[in-house]
Amino acid sequence: MASTLPPLSLPFLPLLILSTSFASAAGNFNQDVDITWGDGRGKILNNGELLTLSLDKSSGSGFQSKNEFLFGRIDMQIKLVAGNSAGTVTAYYLSSQGEAHDEIDFEFLGNLSGDPYIVHTNVYTQGKGNREMQFFLWFDPTKDFHNYSILWNPSHIVFYVDGSPIREFKNLAATKGIPYPNNQAMRLYSSLWDAEDWATRGGLVKTDWSQAPFMAAFRNLNADGCVQGPLASSSCGSKAWMNQALDAQSLKRMNWVQKNYMVYNYCTDLKRFPQGLPPECSAN
């Protein structure tokens, strides 16, 4: 979705390797998702083990989970668009329906060849977003698959990259009166689409269609959530992730990532919020 954030400069960042990773149980895309748009540009391959999305000047493509969830732990391995991916966005997010919807976003903003991707994260509650945090990655996400995870439980939302937490959004509804997504079921969505009007340096760099078709690949989807509807399970509360918190080591790792790789934080953007930062900033 469109961004109002300013263009970003791209400083050199050293390549640091993080060894922590989460094992992701291999799902089957044939059983778990539906390709919902793209007129054949989305494909499920290898008996459901691999899914690819492609984008050309006519259209992108996307898929969604068959199930809806109220809380969950979602893991998926993604290999992002290689080469000159400027103007493209690979999106991976949870969302409910309606104007007052909830949403938890991973968006990967393409860039010129050799420049790093930007990982764009956001949290919507009751239709309100504007909670963007952006990061560089400490590896080339186009060379191999990497694991991107969303933990969403009654206490907090945590974004993970290869097992390292990069962002936490706490449930402050009871103590601060700040809305938290805890009563609308959300479906998993992913798409590859053209966002050249804002994605790369605020829209300054446009999509080079001579590089099309662009392609992103997905594997090992593990959507372990509280399924809503006819397939709902009464045992969801016993799942370990329902009470999973960030321990001291995880908090240290998240702080390290934010110190070294965060390139935008809405909670420090005083120009954007001249009347005062959003209330969750003092607690998150």
Contacts of 109 (CB under 8 A, 6+ apart): 89, 117, 118, 119, 120, 195, 199, 200
Distance CA 68, CA 97 (A): 11
Amino acid at 219: R
Among residues 281, 244, 249, which one has the least CA distance to residue 164? 249
Taking CB atoms within 8 Å and a gap of at least 24, the contacts of 43-51 are 49/219, 50/217, 50/218, 50/219, 51/217, 51/218, 51/219
Distance CA 254, CA 259 (A): 9
68 noted as active-site residue: no
Residue 145 tokens, joined: 């698959």
Selecting among 68, 103, 132, 168, the annotated active-site residue is 103
* Burial (CB count <10 Å: 0-12, 13-18, 19+), residue 78: buried
107 noted as active-site residue: yes
Omega before residue 213 within 30° of 0, cis: yes
DSSP reduced 3-state for 284: coil
Distance CA 165, CA 194 (A): 28
Distance CA 196, CA 204 (A): 8
Q: Give Cα separations from 41 to 56, 83, 212 (angstroms).
A: 9, 19, 12
Selecting among 107, 132, 168, 196, the annotated active-site residue is 107
The residues assigned a catalytic role are: 103, 107
